[in-house]
Amino acid sequence: MALAQHWPIEEVPLDDLDLDLRNVRIPSGHADEMAIAAYLVEAADLLTLVRDILRDGYLDNELPLITASGVRHVVLEGNRRITALKAIKDPSVVGKAAPQVERLKTRYPHGETPTVVRVMIAPSREAALPLLARLHTSNPKKSWVREQQAIFYHSQLTPSVTVDDLRTTYIGETQMMDYIRMGEMRELIRGLRYADTALREFVFSGNLKMTAFEYVYEKRQVQDALGISFNKDGMLASKKMNKKQQNAFIYVLQRLKEGTLNTRSPELKVRGREHKPFVDLLAQIVSGIAPSPGTPDTGASDDAGTGNSHEDNHTDASEHGDGGNGTGDVGIGGRAGTGSTGAGGTGGDAGDVDSGSGTRGPNRGDTLSRLNMDGFAYTGTSPAMRRRFEELRRIDVRDFANATHDLLRTVLECSIKEYMRVQGNPIKPNSTIGYCVEEVAKAFAKDRRMTVLINTINRKGRMSTSQFVGTTEALNSSNHEPDHFVEGREVHEAWDRLKPILNTLVGS
């Protein structure tokens, strides 16, 4: 290892560098570069690094370590940095996250995109192992933990990549269904909205051990009590949950956080006397017979969503949002309907680079003077749009409800036009908001999450009051009808429905 200081440092074209497929340490050993990139986006905050490089430039104070492999070079150390550079050069490398990279490139058009990288060249992989071990303070041959492998496989699922495709690619992986189920459950609980910020931090920080949670949800009786089921591919049959189901999940997660539920707990021993009372309690919480134990602050917020991207793509309004019943049922990636209460939180913005706080703010109604902008930041390049969003951030909703509502209509229409222009498919001048929404719906026809969100604001015909809020028809009515007047509560609800859409189009 002492000789490492004498290894040559050279400049190598980025295109000549290959990610280290062996370094991924998936036991089956059949990864490819796009699979690694998808994992790094999901688990290693790759898009933040892309942003930092575009904004601040590429710093090579820590050189990637490579070794020769025929006429090419394999990156032994620094795969995340090299992947970020490759993604900037060719966003398709990161698959379904490519639009987010494109938006970052648009936001930082003068960002540095080096095509030649300074690297240190090791004589062989074996010679580099002691250095890698020192850098990572662990055995460089150690496999990923179970949750990392679940993220790796699950992150590759797209409308065009199925579980069967993964089975074919990773033919030696015998636990594929277990990993897919874990990926599904991880996505589900990270899509919830948490009233308790400490609990949310527990779930998102990695302190929650998915293997412990797996020990809970793999029990068939627990699945039945929670109202969930998996199909033959390990995918959740549905991620649409009502608030009582959400409370049951929150109860389980809270106990895992407190340490009162773990793999040794008698409640999880199927043949033990305490298992049935535990399952019965979950079922009673879901049915509403029993309230969720603990204080109200440990429950799910009223607008909990799941952020799922694999749910069936139904367009029937009853399948998503509140379906007009005001119960708080949620569909994929969206926000529960608020009915007539106007209660809510930050709104759904699952699936973006920065998902935001995810915590619920104070009870809203007509009491808050500002829209909740947590989790949203405009990343486009239009000075006029930036000014509009700044006005939206500052305007007093209580004093200027209708002006705020009109501004929501403006930013939605203009955000769609900006997005379509960046995508190389500009919308014709003077198009109305209705036409813009139809066009962006076509652009996202293969994106199930966005399809659900767009369908929610593009409803037509007879609607309940809660369904009407935030739709293009509602936005137009306040703008064109002399007798139509909105209240602050409706503005907050409309923003909650529009925010996840705007986040995808022009946010970060």
Q: What is the pLDDT of residues 244-286, one digit of tens each?
A: 999 999 999 999 999 999 999 999 999 999 999 999 999 999 9
> Worst-scoring range by mean pLDDT, 44-48, 254-258, 477-481?
477-481
Rounded to an integer, the average pLDDT of 430-453 is 91
Report the distance separating Cα 70 and Cα 65, nearest Å. Answer: 16
What is residue 409's predicted lDDT score, i.e. its pLDDT?
A: 95
462 pLDDT above the threshold of 60: yes
More confident residue, 129 or 497: 497
Contact 306, 237 (CB under 8 A): no
What is residue 170's predicted lDDT score, i.e. its pLDDT?
A: 77
What is residue 466's predicted lDDT score, i.e. its pLDDT?
A: 72
More confident residue, 131 or 496: 496
301 pLDDT above the threshold of 60: no
Residue-averaged pLDDT of the chain: 79
Provide the whole-model pTM. Answer: 0.46
What is residue 345's predicted lDDT score, i.e. its pLDDT?
A: 34
What is residue 29's predicted lDDT score, i.e. its pLDDT?
A: 53
> Per-residue pLDDT tens for 321-335?
333 333 334 333 333
More confident residue, 347 or 468: 468
What is residue 307's predicted lDDT score, i.e. its pLDDT?
A: 42
460 pLDDT above the threshold of 50: yes
Across 79-93, 123-137, 352-366, the highest mean pLDDT is recorded for 79-93
> Per-residue pLDDT tens for 216-229?
999 999 999 999 99
The encoded tokens of residue 352 equal 């973006």
More confident residue, 203 or 326: 203
What is residue 116's predicted lDDT score, i.e. its pLDDT?
A: 93
More confident residue, 490 or 132: 490
The encoded tokens of residue 438 equal 């139809």
Strand partners, 236: 230
Measured CA to CA in angstroms, residue 270 lies from 213, 258, 332 at distances of 15, 22, 31
166 in helix, strand or coil? helix
230 backbone dihedrals φ, ψ, rounded to 5°: -110, 145
Contact 337, 328 (CB under 8 A): yes
What is residue 102's predicted lDDT score, i.e. its pLDDT?
A: 92
What is residue 429's predicted lDDT score, i.e. its pLDDT?
A: 85
Measured CA to CA in angstroms, residue 123 lies from 74, 138, 458 at distances of 12, 22, 60
What is residue 333's predicted lDDT score, i.e. its pLDDT?
A: 35
Distance of CA 378 to the CA centre of its chain: 17
What is residue 346's predicted lDDT score, i.e. its pLDDT?
A: 33
Rounded to an integer, the average pLDDT of 453-466 is 81
The encoded tokens of residue 101 equal 């990279």
More confident residue, 404 or 147: 404
What residue type is 461 in one-letter code? G
Report the distance separating Cα 479 and Cα 403, nearest Å. Answer: 9
Report the distance separating Cα 241 and Cα 98, nearest Å. Answer: 30
Report the distance separating Cα 15 and Cα 115, nearest Å. Answer: 8
What is residue 348's predicted lDDT score, i.e. its pLDDT?
A: 34
Contact 412, 433 (CB under 8 A): yes
What is residue 324's predicted lDDT score, i.e. its pLDDT?
A: 34
> Worst-scoring range by mean pLDDT, 26-30, 190-194, 487-491?
26-30
10 pLDDT above the threshold of 60: yes
Using pLDDT thresholds of 50, 70 and 90, give the confidence band for residue 137: very low
Nearest to 401 by CA among 493, 467, 507: 493
